[in-house]
Amino acid sequence: MAKKTQKGGTKGKTRRPRTNLIRGGVQRSNFQETSEALFLTSGYVYDRAEDAEAAFKQEIDRFMYSRFGNPTVAMFQDRMALIEGAEACWGTATGMAAVTAALLCQLKTGDRVVAARALFGSCQYVVTEILPRFGIESVIVDGDDLDQWKHALATPTQAVFLETPSNPTLEIIDLPAVCEMAHKSGAKVIVDNVFATPILQKPMELGADIVTYSGTKHIDGQGRCMGGAVLGDAEFCEEILKPFIRNTGPALSPFNAWVLLKGLETLELRVEKQSENALEIARFLEAQPGVSRVLYPGLKSHPQFDLAACQMTSGGTMVSFELGEAQGDDGKATAFKFENALEIIDISNNLGDTKSLITHPPTTTHQRVEADERARMGIRDNLLRISVGLEDIDDLKEDLSRGLDGV
């Protein structure tokens, strides 16, 4: 039987995405198991001393140490690359490890990063607090304002980092327009594609160079484990990202890679059904007198509905909304009453799960952000964000009505 190497088969390249979600990257062991094998091993043995020497000289391609190569992790990476249409992928321990590695592996003192304002809290911390400590300039723009991007990218820049749709206001960034300006400025574009998932949006087809995921979210999608991924071209992944990951160690555990592989098999079914439920919930909320605004890229009322329809195949699994007109402490009190009246939808800051989850961003995910910066991001005290799951839609609507009755 063929000797197993770190690189999976090329079979997937001729197969369709739906098949790759199920079979992409599979490398069977001698036991010919149906399901992907779980290789919980930190190291690997060499038949002869000469083999160890050859492996370290990189004369042979084989697994040496699970910090930078493990068969289960390799299956996950190969499957992710096939699904994304990327040349290569590295799995990481968390989504934040993916974002941090994607930025730090390629930046040095004196470099410049331009990022969108509306970022996941920890991504914002990395860009605005950690990078400047190493003498990397970080410039923040309003992601939906192309004039601000143009102005910021008039100065040579090394990296652009953004998230679309954004958290929690679900703003859409025009990827082809920003990528074109970024490339003229000399920058690589990194897109954090967590909210859209590889099912609903393919940033690389729209011009992005690097895509990151939190596997914790929709890819696992069942609230079990943490994980992440960085995808890019072969040269970036091999020459720039690999040495960083190999030597700094944000490795994905083989166990978690195995859970994520199983998650990928049902990713399309879950994401499509959850998006369908999300659209129905967005429409339902829009019709409620107690709800003053619904933010959902799949609703005609979304200011960037047309752009979202160009970039994404549906509006996604996340719905944000504002209650009443209340501001200040009243907004928070109203939002808390709403959350506390729910019986099915759980209060949780996680997302992408089969269980519907609700969070109050101003007091949780964006608590650390200064009040005036929060206001600039459009995060008001009466804002709630729901990650829509797979429960019966009528039960979810009834639960939301309970919330509204509680206000």
The reply to whether 322 sits near ligand PLP by the rule CB under 6 A is: no
The nearest distance, CB 52 to ligand PLP, in angstroms, is 35
Is residue 256 helix, strand or coil? helix
Stretch that binds ligand PLP, among 141-149, 175-183, 191-199, 371-379 (CB under 6 A): 191-199
Among residues 63, 90, 120, 244, the one that binds ligand PLP under rule CB under 6 A: 120
Nearest-approach distance from CB 383 to ligand PLP, in angstroms? 16
In the complex, minimum distance from the CB of residue 82 to ligand PLP, in angstroms, rounded to a whole number: 22
Nearest distance in Å: CB 262, ligand PLP: 17
The half-sphere exposure of 169 on its side-chain side, counting CA atoms within 13 A, is: 24
Q: Which two tokens stand for residue 218?
A: 């929709």
Of 188, 217, 302, 380, the one binding ligand PLP by CB under 6 A: 217
> Locate tokens 């605005």: which residue?
128
Residues 6+ apart with CB under 8 A from 177: 146, 149
CA distance 233 to 292: 44
Question: In a 3-state reduction of DSSP, which class is residue 387?
Answer: strand
Distance CA 356, CA 170 (A): 17
Check residue 192 for interaction with ligand PLP (CB under 6 A): yes
CA 383 distance to own-chain centroid? 22
Span from 103-111, 199-207, 213-221, 387-395 in contact with ligand PLP (CB under 6 A): 213-221
Select 88 or 351, whichever has its Cβ closest to ligand PLP: 351
For the segment 226-285, give every residue that binds ligand PLP (CB under 6 A): 226, 228
**Considering the complex, what minimum distance in angstroms separates the CB of residue 228 from ligand PLP?**
5
254-265 helix and 267-286 helix, angle to the nearest 10 degrees = 70
- Interface with ligand PLP, residue 163, by CB under 6 A: yes
DSSP state of 159: E
Q: Between residue 89 and residue 118, which ones bind ligand PLP under the rule CB under 6 A?
A: 94-96, 99
User: What mask, x for binding ligand PLP by CB under 6 A, covers residues 24 to 53?
Assistant: ------------------------------
Q: How far is the CB of 357 from ligand PLP (least distance, A)?
A: 12
Would you say 107 or 194 has its CB closer to ligand PLP? 194
Residue 167 lies near ligand PLP (rule: CB under 6 A)? yes
Q: Do the Cβ atoms of 346 and 357 come closer than 8 Å?
A: yes
Give the burial string for 204-213 (b: 16+ CB within 10 Å, else e).
bebbbbbbbb
CB of 192 to ligand PLP, least distance (A): 5
At residue 305, φ and ψ (nearest 5 deg) are: -55, -45
Q: Which stretch binds ligand PLP (CB under 6 A): 176-184, 192-200, 245-253, 322-330?
A: 192-200
Sheet holding 357-359, edge to edge: 291-295, 318-323, 383-387, 357-359, 346-347
Looking at the Cβ atoms of 63 and 195, the one nearer to ligand PLP is: 195
In the chain, % helix, strand, coil (3-state, to 5) comes to 40, 15, 45
CA angle in degrees (0–180, nearest 5) for 209-210-215: 155
Q: Does 380 bind ligand PLP (CB under 6 A)?
A: no
Main-chain phi, psi angles of 90, to 5 degrees: -120, 130
- Point out which residues bind ligand PLP (CB under 6 A): 94-96, 99, 120, 123, 163, 167, 192, 194-195, 214, 216-217, 226, 228
